[in-house]
Every structure is written in C-alpha cells, then in structure tokens.
Amino acid sequence: MTEEALDGLISSDSHVNPPVEMWRDYLPAKFRGAAPRMEHADDGDFSVFEGRRRPIQAGSAMAGRPPQEFAPTVRRQNDLRSGGWEPAARIEDQDVEGVEAEILFGSVGEAPLMSQDPALTRAGFTAYNRWLADFCSYAPSRLIGVGCIPCDDPDDALGELELVAQLGMRGVVISHTPGTGSWTDDAWAPFLRRLVELDLPAHLHVSVGTRRTMGDIASRGDLFMNYLVRSKLDLPVALGAFVYGGLLEKYPGLKLVSVEAQIGWVPFWKQYLDHVYERHRYWTGNHLAELPSTYADRQIWFTFMDDVEGLARRHECGIDRIMWSNDYPHSESTWPHSRKVLAEQLEGVPEDEVRKIVRDNCAALYGL
C-alpha cells in the first residue's frame, strides 16, 4: 500500500466537548441562571451545576497522551486539547494526520446536559445542536455535525429533527431504545418516515440513551474497563431490534450507522441473525421478505478505530459499509498516530479497498 492511499482521510466518528461557558449563551433565557458555570480557583478549575462542584472531566479528552498519563480529571481547562471546543484548533489537529473531514458527535450518555429539571435537560438538546452548528460553520466542508435527538416523545423528537435539518446537520443520534416503548411502535412511524424523506442517517452510538450510571462505573477500574468492552456489544442488540422488528424492510430508505462499536463482531452477528430467524420465525410468526442479513447489508454502516480482526474479515463485514474513525479526542482515539495504525492494519489490502474504508464510504454516505 502506498502512502498516498491514506491521503484525504475522513473520520466517521470524532467528538466535540462543548465548553461549560457555552450553556449560558445557547440555553433559553429562562434557564440561563441555572446553567453550568466555570469557577476558577487556586486549587483548580471547576464546573458548578445544581449544587455540585466538579473538577474538569478529562476522560473524553485524552487523545495524544500515552496511557500512563490518562486521568479522569485535570486541574485546569487549559490542560485539555482545545480542539475539543475551538474549531480553529480542531482544524490544526486534523491537519496533523492529514484528515480532510470529521463526522462530529458530542459526549456520550443520556443527554447533552443532564439536569434534575426535565425541562432544562430537554432544552439542553436544542442548545447543544445550535452550538454544534455554529462550531461546524467555521469550516463546513471539514466539520460535519450530527444532531442529538431527544427520544422520549415522538412529536418532540420530530420537532427537533426538523430543527437539526434546518441547521444543516448531516444526520442524527438516537437512543438505542426510545424512552418508552420501542422504535417499532406506530407512534414513531412519522419520525422514521421523516428521516427517510430528509435522507439523514440515524446513528446508534455506544452508550447513547442506554440509561447508564457512569458515576458508579468510574468508581472502580475493573467495572470501567469491562463497561468499555460491553458498550461495543450493546450495538448488535440495538440494531437487531430494527432488523427483526421489520423497520428496515418497511423503510428501505432508512440508513443506520453503528458508531464506535468496532466491526469484528459483524460477520458473526449477520450469520446468527439468519440462523435464529430460520429456526424461530415459524412459531413466532415473525416473517420478513428477505433474510435478516440482507437488510443489514443494505442499510447499516459500521465504524471502527482499531480492529485487526474486523479488517481481516472486511468483506464479510461489507466492504462498502465499514468506515474508519479516529475517535478524537477521546481516550480510545488513535490520534495522532492514525496513519501508522492504519498502515499496519491495512498492510496487503488492495488500495481501492483502502480508499473505501478510510474515505470513500464515509464521503458517499454523507454526500461530502
């Protein structure tokens, strides 16, 4: 493989870390007094919100540091890479690896701003989406935003979807399951139809909307590490609901993206979807026009960062459906060594396939 095969990389999964101060600027006026604020003290910088004074969280901003230096918090905000929230600095960090564009997600969890007040939590979705749109406007061909959708109420979700489309986003993040019921419920049909009409991919990102309790997980290293592994394996369960539930058959234009779950499990998952279906479709009365794997091959894309096994079985995963990402600036990020990692893991892979994996599949999905 030549060095040129890795030119113009496009990351299918990168992240932003909105600064604490942005909430006062983007929340509606009635919530600004309750918004998080930054406190600069002699003993460090702190985020103050709803009676809690927390040090600056750093787990989502460890890119570029050796693992020996990983830490859950830092003393000062300036100890983190500013590319997480400053677009000019972000472009500079893209240029380090020769990245031409990134698909941008926020922090993972239940909501962009988790509050004790449900109304404030809900307002945080719109505030975040507006902030992200402004962030991306700095370099719209290189900073590609994906909006975050509240998934508790179908009508509310549909309204936010319309806003996200107006803001120029290239897709949406949805919960693995809605707040109540399931995606197969008739109440969600208008939302899913509108996704197809707008041609916006729906993204199932690891940990988004899974009602986790990260505080408990982070308190023990063994729980945290096992959680990172488990989070990848949550995705086939979430995606399977769309396949077996007939949603991909009902909406052939619906595009789903499995984000940050790696790809090594995909060949087994697709084979076992068919295996279970063939054995159990009769007594369950669950009949599809095609085998389940057919819908997965047609309508689901998969992102990875560092996956030797998955790349070895790339054709079984779907050579037109797998997309590289650097996960900048999270702790699992390959930045600033992505080109080295890719060169090692793609050694011997034909260059036309390399281009699909590191650039072309992503460009085609998002119309870049």
Q: pLDDT band for position 331 (50/70/90)?
A: confident
Neighbours of 166 (CB within 10 A): 9
Distance CA 90, CA 140 (A): 13
CB distance 97 to 336 below 8 Å: yes
Q: What is the pLDDT of residues 259-304, one digit of tens each?
A: 999 999 999 999 999 999 999 999 999 999 999 999 999 999 999 9
Percent of the chain with pLDDT over 90: 81
317 located within any domain: yes
CATH classification at residue 285: 3.20.20.140
Which of 171, 258, 152 is closest to 206 using CA atoms? Answer: 258
Burial of 59: CB neighbours in 10 Å, binned 0-12, 13-18, 19+: middle
pLDDT at 215: 52
Distance CA 305, CA 12 (A): 9
Neighbours of 76 (CB within 10 A): 11
221 located within any domain: yes
96 located within any domain: yes
CB distance 303 to 323 below 8 Å: yes
Structural domain that includes position 341: 3-21+81-366
pLDDT at 151: 96
Q: What are phi and psi of 16, to 5 degrees?
A: -115, 155
47 located within any domain: no
275 located within any domain: yes
Q: pLDDT band for position 166 (50/70/90)?
A: very high
326 located within any domain: yes
240 located within any domain: yes
| Helix pair angle (266-284, 221-244), 10° resolution | 50
User: How many structural domains compose the chain?
Assistant: 1
Distance of CA 216 to the CA centre of its chain: 22
Distance CA 72, CA 40 (A): 19
pLDDT at 187: 97
Residues 129-154, mean pLDDT to the nearest whole number: 98
Residues 66-83, mean pLDDT to the nearest whole number: 85
